[in-house]
């Protein structure tokens, strides 16, 4: 029975040998020709017939979808980008069933037909890397082949360390110093490798060591002036360090060398945007979109650049190209709505923004723009509602709070508007617009002390100072601080304010300060431009006080030209004639005044006095009597009536006595 089994085994081996011989002709790459086949036949006989340990000749690995043969003379090269699997074993045994594979550094107890990652192998190898290894460019590794409990073969592996790995380790490390040290050592070991220097430059850039980064990139360019990756790194370094002019120069150099690389155009556009070179930014963005027309971010940026250039129609076209893709690009409706806002197409903007609100959870900016659109249509209630929602989502945004204040003013909610502006100033204490708005509201609501405090802060900050100075003058006047009031009225006039009211208020302030001469000079100036009754009356009062009766008379006559039936003016004119000693004109003026207003007791009383001057006692008595009838509290009339009656009786007796004599 044993003899029969032995012969069957030998027969099987013979068949296998025959197959191997055949395979050597069919697949010589795998079997290395006839000599390998014969060698394997002998080994298989020894394994199957003599029970010797099988020899392993090669392994077959599949890496990135391609088969590789691994032997003692043919190392297996692995990089961090690879994925591989040991899928077959070429040995004396026809079946790999009793074999075990151990890829040192990765995997588990048995790695046979297990998918492995090169990145894991590289990461493990780098922990033991040496200067010699860096100079060589790879780490030696092993694949151990075990049969039962014994290692029967060791296959060499070359674990290639690429520049990308250094960058990866540098980015993963929390220590910039360690990152840089890795790459400096690698660069020293491979001084001719521009990739490592580029990576080192990138690490320096990320660490904020811009001068050293620039030095690395320039070192690459000194050997290879058209190394576009080094130029790109240099451009990014300039952008990161704020040297945007140099970034733009480097970017233009890069795109001349590699015009089909979209990332170069993108960075060039960024440099141009930062410099405010909007046309150049638009050109770079258009070039990027020619290469990559599906880049929605670049298209939106181009739309925003067109906004800066004032080319609203072209901006709208770019937004439409994005939004036409469907709901996935719905967020870009906001940009399109903003363009319609700039064009004053409020209905279109409102429609788009409301669609956006219905489609997704809207941002504060969406509600703020909606408020702006409603404000453009003077829909104050809707404007306020939109800004309230925007402020609820972004309660500390000073721009939204300011616009909320404006909307509250539109709805006559001044107290709430003041609160909104005060919130702005808590966040942004030097916001001149909010300060001015709050000052104006305080002024309008007669909170003069508060208004003064705000206006004083603004006095040196706002460009249009005239109106501010005028308000300060008025506010200080209401606080009875005449000197400060006069100072700011004067500043308002010096700043070019032509308002006669300001001139008049300054004159009135001068009066309160006792500067009557300065006051009347301003009244005269104000009256010359706009002869208001109040200013003319004040002028006349001053002329009367200073005994300049003729000038006072001229003022009243000027007033009568615009108001010829004004009883009060005639009465005042009569009073001046009386002071001048012209009772005839005095009487004439009083009588004219009473023709227009016969119920003025004081004028009747003055007329009585004028008649007395002329000796017309009976006329005087009638005038006083009328005054007393109209006003029993008229002390002058009450006093003069009995005295005149006595005089008239006495004069009558005197006349009668003369006649009797």
**Angle between helix 312-323 and 333-342 (nearest 10):** 160
Report for 48-62, 232-246, 354-368: range of highest mean pLDDT: 232-246
Give every CB contact of residue 441 below 8 A, 6+ residues apart in sequence.
409, 414, 417, 418, 421
CB contact at 8 A, 234 and 253: no
Identify the CA nearest to 428 among candidates 450, 396, 457: 396
Residue 2's pLDDT is 42
Lowest-confidence region among 414-423, 615-624, 647-656: 647-656
**Is residue 326 scored above 80 in pLDDT?**
no
Each residue's pLDDT tens digit, 548-604: 889 889 888 888 888 889 999 999 998 999 998 999 999 999 999 999 999 999 999
Residue 28's pLDDT is 46
Tokens 């036409």 sit on residue? 324
Each residue's pLDDT tens digit, 233-263: 999 999 999 999 999 999 999 999 999 999 9
Q: What is the mean pLDDT of residues 138-160?
A: 92
Each residue's pLDDT tens digit, 22-31: 554 444 444 4
Other Cβ atoms within 10 Å of 177 Cβ, number: 9
492 or 182, which is more confident? 492
pLDDT band at 35 (very low <50, low <70, confident <90, very high): low
- Whole-prediction pTM: 0.52
Tokens 């090269």 sit on residue? 77
Residue 327's pLDDT is 45
Copy the structure tokens of residue 269.
Answer: 């556009």
């Amino acid at each position: 029975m044993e003899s029969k089994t032995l012969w069957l085994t030998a027969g099987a081996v013979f068949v296998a040998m025959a197959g191997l011989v055949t395979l050597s002709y069919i697949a010589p790459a795998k079997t290395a020709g006839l000599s390998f086949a014969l060698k394997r036949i002998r080994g298989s006989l020894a394994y199957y017939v003599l029970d010797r340990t099988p020899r392993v000749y090669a392994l077959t690995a599949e890496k990135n979808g391609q088969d590789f043969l691994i032997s003692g003379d043919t190392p297996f090269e692995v990089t961090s980008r690879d994925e591989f699997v040991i899928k077959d074993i070429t040995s004396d045994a026809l079946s790999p069933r009793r074999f075990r594979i151990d890829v040192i550094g990765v995997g588990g107890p048995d790695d046979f037909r297990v998918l492995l990652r090169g990145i894991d192998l590289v990461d493990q190898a780098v922990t033991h890397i040496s200067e010699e290894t860096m100079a060589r460019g790879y780490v030696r590794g092993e694949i151990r082949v075990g049969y039962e409990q014994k290692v029967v073969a060791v296959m060499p592996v070359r674990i290639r360390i690429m520049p990308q790995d250094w960058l990866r380790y540098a980015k993963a490390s929390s220590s910039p110093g360690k990152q840089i040290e890795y790459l400096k050592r690698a660069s020293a070991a491979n001084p001719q490798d521009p990739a490592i220097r580029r990576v080192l430059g990138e690490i320096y850039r990320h660490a904020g060591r811009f001068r050293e980064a620039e030095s690395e990139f320039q070192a690459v360019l000194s050997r290879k002036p058209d190394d576009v990756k080094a130029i790109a790194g240099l451009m990014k370094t300039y952008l990161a360090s704020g040297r945007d002019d140099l970034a733009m120069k480097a970017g233009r150099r890069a795109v001349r060398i590699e015009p089909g690389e979209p990332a170069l155009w993108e960075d060039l556009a960024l440099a141009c945007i930062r410099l405010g070179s909007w046309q150049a930014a638009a050109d770079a963005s258009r070039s990027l979109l020619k290469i990559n027309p599906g880049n929605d971010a670049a298209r939106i940026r181009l739309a925003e650049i067109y906004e800066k250039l004032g080319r609203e129609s072209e901006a709208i076209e770019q937004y439409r190209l994005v939004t036409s893709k469907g709901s996935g690009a719905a967020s870009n409706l906001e940009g399109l709505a903003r363009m319609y806002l700039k064009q004053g197409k409020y209905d279109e903007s409102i429609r788009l923004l409301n669609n956006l609100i219905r489609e997704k959870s809207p941002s504060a900016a969406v509600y703020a723009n909606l408020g702006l659109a409603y404000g453009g249509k003077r829909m104050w209630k809707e404007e306020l509602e939109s800004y309230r929602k925007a402020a609820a989502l972004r309660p500390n945004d000073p721009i939204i709070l300011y616009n909320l204040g404006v909307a509250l003013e539109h709805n006559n909610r001044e107290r709430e508007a003041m609160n909104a502006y005060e919130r702005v100033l808590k966040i942004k204490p030097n916001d001149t617009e909010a300060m001015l708005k709050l000052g104006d509201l305080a002024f309008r609501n007669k909170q003069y002390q508060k208004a003064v405090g705000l206006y004083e802060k603004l006095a040196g900050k706002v460009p249009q100072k005239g109106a501010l100075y005028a308000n300060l003058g008025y506010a200080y006047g209401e606080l009875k601080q005449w000197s400060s009031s006069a100072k700011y009225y004067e500043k308002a006039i010096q700043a070019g304010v032509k308002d006669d009211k300001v001139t008049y208020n300054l004159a009135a302030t001068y009066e309160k300060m006792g500067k009557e001469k300065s006051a009347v000079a301003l009244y005269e100036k104000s009256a010359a431009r706009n002869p208001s009754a109040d200013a003319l009356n004040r002028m006349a009062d001053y002329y009367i006080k200073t005994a300049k009766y003729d000038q006072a008379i001229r003022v009243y006559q000027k007033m009568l030209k615009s108001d010829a039936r004004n009883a009060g003016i005639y009465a005042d004119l009569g009073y001046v004639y009386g002071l001048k000693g012209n009772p005839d004109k005095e009487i004439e003026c009083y009588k004219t005044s009473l023709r227009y207003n016969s119920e003025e007791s004081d004028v009747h009383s003055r007329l009585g006095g004028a008649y007395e001057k002329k000796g017309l006692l009976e006329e005087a008595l009638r005038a006083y009597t009328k005054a007393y009838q109209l006003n029993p509290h008229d002390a002058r009339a009450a006093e003069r009536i009995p005295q005149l009656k006595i005089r008239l009786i006495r004069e009558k007796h005197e006349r009668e006595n003369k006649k009797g004599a």
